[in-house]
Amino acid sequence: MDISNKSDGKLKRLHVGEKRTSRIPGFYRLPVEQRLAFLANRYNLSEQQITNLRDGQTLRIDHAVNMVENAVGVLPMPLGLGLNFIVDDVEYLVPMAIEEASIIAAASKAALMIRQGGGFRTEVDEPVMIGQVQVVEIADVHKAEKRIHERKKDIIEQANLASPRMVARGGGVFDIETRIIDEDDLDSPMLIVHLLMNVQEAMGANAINYASEAVGHLIERITGGRVNLRILSNLADKRLAKASFRLPFDAIKTSELSGAEVAQRMIEAYQMAKYDPYRAATHNKGIFNGIGAAALALGQDWRAIEAGGHAYAAKDGKYRSLTKYWIEDEYLFGSIELPMQVGWVGGAVNSHPGIHILHSISGVENARELAGLLATVGLAQNFAACLALSTVGIQKGHMALHARSVALSVGVPASQVEEVAQEMIRRGDVKVSTAEEVYRKMRERPRTKQPADGMPVTVSAPGKVVLFGEHATVYNYPGITAAIDVNLSIKITPDPDGPRFLNPHFKQPFSVPKSDQDLRLFSKAVDLALNIYGMREERVAISIESDLVPGMGLGSSAAFSAALCMGLRKLKNQDTPRSWDGTLLDEVQQLEAIFHGHPSGMDAATVLSEGVLWFRKGPPREILPIRMQHSMAGIVCLVEPGARTIDLVRKVRHSHDLNPKRVGSILDEIGNLTVDAGIALGTGDADEVGRLMFRNHELLARLGVSTAGLDKSIEKLIDYNVLGAKLTGSGGGGAVIALVRQEDQYNLVNELQAEFAMVFPFSLGASV
């Protein structure tokens, strides 16, 4: 099932056997940027949504002030995905927000094992909440109770006046119950009236509270007593969620234990939690590790869920396990049952911007489905914990993640956390004191040279698009390029183990050619730059954060080369003029040559100019700014992975050698229309610029450098009434650009997000 298949704006469910799945092998090994790119591609998330997830900005202070009193900020939590879940033959990814190490990994591992038995099965009650009305000072509590039931219809009608919209949707109060509490330490018996309310898709706390308050005066008149408390109960035992699984013994056997032995150990672990409240408390806490993390990520009142669960665990007067395990016919069975008061509308579900993103990722469609999924997560978490406790022990699998957390807790920098964690694991001693000792010894290592002053240094350079003249520039025809408002940043920080080049972070909405993300090329460029500036011995780390997607013809290597040169110049307190001539351009070109062999200089000049340039490689080389009367608006649409520039240049050269007359005439026309485009840009004739873009794409297609995907994208953009559109860069895939009316740019970017892997705006203006 493709992500583009939608119904009423909602993602279709992920049924077992369909193309999309919650089983994503090696997901934990992917760099964070690749995980985010996976989500962006699968769920059509916008670049802003991905940025908000990455930066922990799904909730900003301007939202928080409307959610809580005395707001002073926002406290982010680590957010991960529980994988591998099959629930009632539907695939789910489970967003989970939690700071405790190993929780998400354990739930995912359990779900993976339980897939072997067909996944989980659930049963979920109707969404019935209980509202309690406390009545005291009653002359005859039994007569009062009888009168309450005689006037049940009146009480229900009065209660439903508080929620007419819910009643209209088929919900509302539908029944009442009564309880008499008559204990020795009470002055007199009290009567508790329960309102039973179907709250539909809501969690229902506000609705049931309104209803409880609405009947207070009526109940006083009926009973002759005084109404005191009117509030919901979080022991929502009319609203139970049940989940279960079965696994063949072969699925749980280990190298040391048979499946039957493991199953028996699981039963013994369960029996301890069933009869020993000291164990049951820890047993159930583990259940809520999973439920609470998923509930928090999906905007639920995890405190209410946990309170109801613990109360339900003691429903027979003794606190017990919420899960059960048993053996039948060489199968291990597991189940869980607990109250689950959740909502798919209202509360944080509506007020928290990040919750909307996570709802889309989860695949859940309604409150009952969510209740079943949360119960499933709790069961998976408990199964994983009991299995580990019964076999290898809880600390073995927990140690690596715990070691990283301990290292962070004593102030170890993120770049050195792994080294400290691995040393603690090697010693088998994961403690704060050990982490402090290991890190202290690391800091005491002799340094041959101190880091340079003035750090950290952060410098950015923009990407670029080719407006006109691709491939023709190779044959000394002119080209027109423009810098775009999408940047790559280089950060240089002190590092006692430097100089080092750290793993770069690029946007990757889909797989890009390995040649465009080859770390050896980046490392080689860094080495050359350090040589150029005489900084081979500097104790620094160089890292990349980029919004540019490599391999798309957007100038990511030129932006990297320019930003690195400017950053090292800044570190040495050298002048760093952004100029398309002089020594800086030559230095950037030396780095660019590592990526592209013999670059024309067009990309480097463009990113340094930050404007619109006329370019001819020469000799003599022509680089001239195109001064525009007013700005023009454009968009970039990423279509598909691109081919290598060098391969497409060779392809055109081969065609030229085979048929010089035909290919030569195409190149001539591209050259002529580029001249016309330069004039139209200078005079501000956007309609003519757009017409020439369409013609330029047609000629590039005739050269054989376009693809079916690029051509289809141009046709799609025509349907959106753009002024002009064409491929940008060498072709063979990659991106298309479009010139659009200024007033249409914002809406087009939003509308086209569902059509392309990424869409972002840019502006063409006068260069200075």
DSSP label at 504?
P
**DSSP secondary structure of 588-634:** HHHHHHHHHSS--SHHHHHHHHTSEEEEE--SSPEEEE---SS-EEE
How far is it, in rounded angstroms, from Cα 345 to Cα 192? Answer: 29
Residue 157 tokens, joined:
């009608």
Phi, psi dihedral angles at 487 (to 5 degrees): -115, 160
Q: Which long-range contacts (CB under 8 A, 24 or more apart) does 703-709 make?
A: 703/471, 703/652, 703/655, 703/663, 703/666, 704/651, 704/652, 704/655, 705/470, 705/471, 705/648, 705/651, 705/652, 705/730, 705/731, 705/732, 706/731, 707/640, 707/731, 707/732, 707/733, 709/639, 709/640, 709/733
Q: Give the span between the Cα atoms of 433 and 214, in whole angstroms.
A: 58
Closest CA to 402 of 381, 429, 436, 437: 429
| Six token digits for residue 289 | 């590790």
The helix (H) or strand (E) run that includes residue 568 is: helix 556-571
Maximum pairwise Cα distance, the chain = 109
Give the alpha-carbon dihedral of 323, 324, 325, 326, to 10 degrees: -170
C-alpha 51/C-alpha 547 separation (Å) is 10
115-139 burial string, b = 16+ CB within 10 Å, else e?
Answer: bebebbbbebbebbbbbbbbbbebe
**Amino acid of residue 72:** V
Q: Which tokens is 56 given?
A: 């922990």
For β-strands 622-625 and 540-546, DSSP reports them as: unpaired
Q: Which amino acid is at 756?
A: F
Query: How many residues comprise the chain?
Result: 768
* Residues marked as catalytic: 100, 285, 301, 398
Residue with tokens 């330029």: 696
> CA of 560: how far to CAs of 81, 488, 563, in Å?
32, 6, 5
Alpha helices (H) in 178-317, listed in sequence order: 205-214, 216-223, 259-275, 277-297, 302-313
Peptide bond into 353 cis (omega under 30): no
For tokens 């949504």, name the residue. 49
Question: What is the spatial distance between Cα 249 and Cα 245, in angstroms, rounded to a whole number?
Answer: 13
Give the whole-angstrom CA distance, residue 506 versus residue 54.
12
Distance CA 454, CA 574 (A): 13
Contacts 24+ apart (CB under 8 A), 744-751: 744/633, 745/633, 745/634, 745/635, 748/635, 748/720, 748/722, 749/635, 750/46, 751/720
